[in-house]
Chains A and B, each alone.
Chain A
Amino acid sequence: MEYPVSSSLVLDIGGSFSWMNVGDFRIEGTWADDGASVSDTLDDTGQSGTAFSLFAGVLFFVSP
C-alpha cells in the first residue's frame, strides 16, 4: 500500500526578542605561577538579560 506524500519548502525570515533571568556568572580556575585558586563572581548576578535576533531559514513540510 502506498501513502501519497506531498512536500513543500518554505522560506522563513524574521526577528525575535527574548527575555531571560540570569543566574550566577562565576569564574573559577588556578593561576599557573603559584598554583593559587581563583574564584570570582561578576556583578551581573541575579539580573535579567534580553536578546534580539534576526534570522533566515527554511521549513520543509511533509503532508500525508
Chain B
Amino acid sequence: MYARRWILIAVLTVFAAAGDLHAQRFPGSDDASPSGFAIGLNGGYSLLGGAVGDSTSGGFRLGAKAIYDFEDAPVQVGVGASYTWFGFDSTAGAPGAVQYDGALRKLSLYGLGTWKFLDIESSMIPYVTARLGWTRLSDDPTTSAAVSRPADEKSSAPARKADWKSAPTSVWSIRSPAPWCSISGAASAG
C-alpha cells in the first residue's frame, strides 16, 4: 500500500516538473493556447462525499484524456478516463450488518467539453470543464475483507479475510449513466 502511494507521488512530481520546465523554456511565448489534438495525463487526490462518503477515505487518482482544441474558438472537446483507489470501512454500520474493511476502486469514463472563458495575456488560461459519463465503484478483492459476522448468524466470532472460503464479490454499482459535472482550474503554457 505504501509503495503504491510513493509511486503515485513520484508520478505527480514528474508531471509538475515537466510543466515547470516548459514554462521556463518558453517564457512569454504565444503558444499559451495551442490548438490541435492533445493527450493529457494527470494524477491527483480525491475524496468521496454525500451518502457514500461516511465509509470511505480519500484516494489517489490517475487519469488520461484525449482532446481536440479548436483554433478559432476557445473550446475543447474530448474523451477521458480516470481510476481512483479509495479506502473503505463499514465498521460503523448498523448492528447486525456484515462489517467490512478494504478498498474501493472507482473507474470513470466520460466525454468532456472545455470553455476557456478568459482571454488574458498570461501564460495561465483559466477554464471550466463539464464531464458527462459513466462511473462504477467496486471493491478490491485483494485488499478487502469482512471483519465480523452479523450477530444473528450462527457464530459471532470475528472472521478475517483468511476465513472467507472465496473472495467476496461485493459490488458498489453506480446506476448508469452516472452524470457528473466538474469545474476545473487552470491550464498553463510557457
Contacts and interface: CB of A to CB of B under 8 A. Distances in A.
B163 to A, nearest CB: 4
A32 B175 CA distance: 32
Q: How large is the interface on A (under 10, 10 to 19, 20 to 34, 35 or more residues)?
A: 35 or more
Interface string B11-29: 0100110111011000000
A19 B179 contact: yes
Q: Which of A25, A43, A63 has the most CB of B within 10 A?
A: A25
B42 A49 contact: no
A52 B37 contact: no
B38 A53 contact: no
Nearest to A13: B185
Nearest to A38: B98
Nearest to A39: B98
A12 interface: yes
A3 interface: no
A62 B39 CA distance: 9
B94 A58 contact: no
B52 A49 contact: yes
Interface in A22-37: 22-36
A32 B159 contact: yes
Nearest to A10: B189
Given A38-B146, A59-B38, A22 B188 contact: no
Interface in A1-58: 6, 8-36, 38, 40, 42-44, 47-58
B149 A51 contact: no
B152 to A, nearest CB: 11
Contacts of B169: 28-29
A35 B20 CA distance: 57
A49 to B, nearest CB: 4
B42 A20 contact: no
B179 A30 contact: no
A51 B47 contact: yes
10 contacts: A8-B31, A11-B15, A12-B19, A13-B187, A20-B135, A22-B172, A24-B171, A54-B46, A56-B44, A61-B37
Query: Which 8 A-B residue pairings sit nearest by Cβ, starting from the closest?
Result: A57-B42, A11-B19, A14-B185, A55-B44, A16-B182, A63-B36, A47-B51, A18-B180
